A = this chain, B = another copy of it.
Amino acid sequence: MKTAPLQTAKKSAVACHNCSLSELCLPRGLTSEELDLLENAINKTVKIKKKDYLFHRDDQQHSIYAVKAGAIKTSLSTPDGEEQILGFYLPGDLLGFDAFANNRHTCDAQALDDTLVCELNIDSFQELCGKLSSMRGQMMRQIGAEIEREHMLLLTLGQMRTEERLATFLSSLSERNRERGFSSTEFNLPMARHDLANYLGMAVETLSRMFSRLQEENIIAVQHRLIKIQEMDRLKQLAHHTCRPAGDAL
């Protein structure tokens, strides 16, 4: 289907110390010495091209990855070729925890764009977590956030109508951008309509209609992937199902 990720990968030096994402990523709250240990656990920085896979379900090799730049989607596919996108991972997000169960990834991870990730060897990372309680705490928080995010998505898919789903998504992407110091009212969607529709459990056509509807009501302005939120309060109102700001990832 696609070339293996490692064939298109380049290795480069790792440096959490001066990484701009250190406040979002694992390093948050660690001392300089702890950071050294973390850097040792990092295999390498991997560059993957748009549409290439970071990992496949059941791959022999498994790691935890931190996104430095670009965007990754994870998905599950069925025997008959249907897929469900499980999450979008943006700079500062970690992915790969699904491999904890059986030392195999249980979903696929594909780059939505040319992407840069840090790869952490799962075993040395586990070992590190044994040694440093701060690191263990970091990891637990990340895992907890991942579970919480998935809970929100279940709520979205199980209870909301399509307009609500989109409003909730936009609202949480906005929040996310705010947290990262970007504009919360004007941003680019990192994914195509097709992927977003799949993630939100609706047809592309329906998604497009919902974008149009929100635009007609002057709640947002849409130009391709650029979204401008014009009336945040009305957007949040539509997304009233949402429980809390929803911290990490999407």
Assess the B155–A98 pair: CB atoms within 8 A.
Answer: no
- Chain A positions 128 through 146: 1 when the CB is less than 8 Å from some CB of chain B, otherwise 0: 0111010011001101111
Smallest beta-carbon distance A11→chain B, Å: 27
Assess the B102–A144 pair: CB atoms within 8 A.
Answer: yes
Assess the B107–A151 pair: CB atoms within 8 A.
Answer: yes
Assess the A101–B240 pair: CB atoms within 8 A.
Answer: no
Assess the A243–B78 pair: CB atoms within 8 A.
Answer: yes
CB-contact partner of A155 in B78, B159, B241, under 8 A: B78
Interface of A is mostly: helix
Docked Cα-Cα span, A127 to B199, in Å, equals 37
Docked Cα-Cα span, A145 to B143, in Å, equals 13
Assess the B106–A159 pair: CB atoms within 8 A.
Answer: no
A86 near B: Cβ within 8 Å?
Answer: yes
Taking CB atoms, residues of chain B closer than 8 Å to A106 are 144, 147-148, 151
Assess the A86–B126 pair: CB atoms within 8 A.
Answer: no
Assess the B151–A240 pair: CB atoms within 8 A.
Answer: no
Assess the A143–B97 pair: CB atoms within 8 A.
Answer: yes
Smallest beta-carbon distance A242→chain B, Å: 8
CB-contact partner of A241 in B79, B133, B144, B146, under 8 A: B79
Q: Say how many copies of this protein the assembly contains.
A: 2
For chain A, which range describes its interface: under 10, 10 to 19, 20 to 34, or 35 or more residues? 35 or more
Q: Known contacts being A82-B159, A130-B136, is A76 close to B151, with CB within 8 Å?
A: yes
CB-contact partner of A79 in B143, B144, B199, B240, under 8 A: B240
- Chain A positions 62 through 87: 1 when the CB is less than 8 Å from some CB of chain B, otherwise 0: 00000000000000101110111010
Smallest beta-carbon distance A48→chain B, Å: 22
Q: Which residue of B has the minimal Cβ distance to A145?
A: B101
Assess the B86–A151 pair: CB atoms within 8 A.
Answer: yes
Taking CB atoms, residues of chain B closer than 8 Å to A145 are 101
Assess the A154–B151 pair: CB atoms within 8 A.
Answer: no
**Which residues of A come within 8 Å of B, CB atoms?**
76, 78-80, 82-84, 86, 97-102, 106-107, 126-127, 129-131, 133, 136-137, 140-141, 143-148, 150-155, 157-159, 198-199, 201, 240-243, 247
What are 11 of the A-B contact pairs (CB < 8 Å)? A76-B152, A78-B242, A79-B240, A82-B241, A83-B159, A100-B141, A101-B141, A101-B144, A150-B150, A150-B154, A153-B154
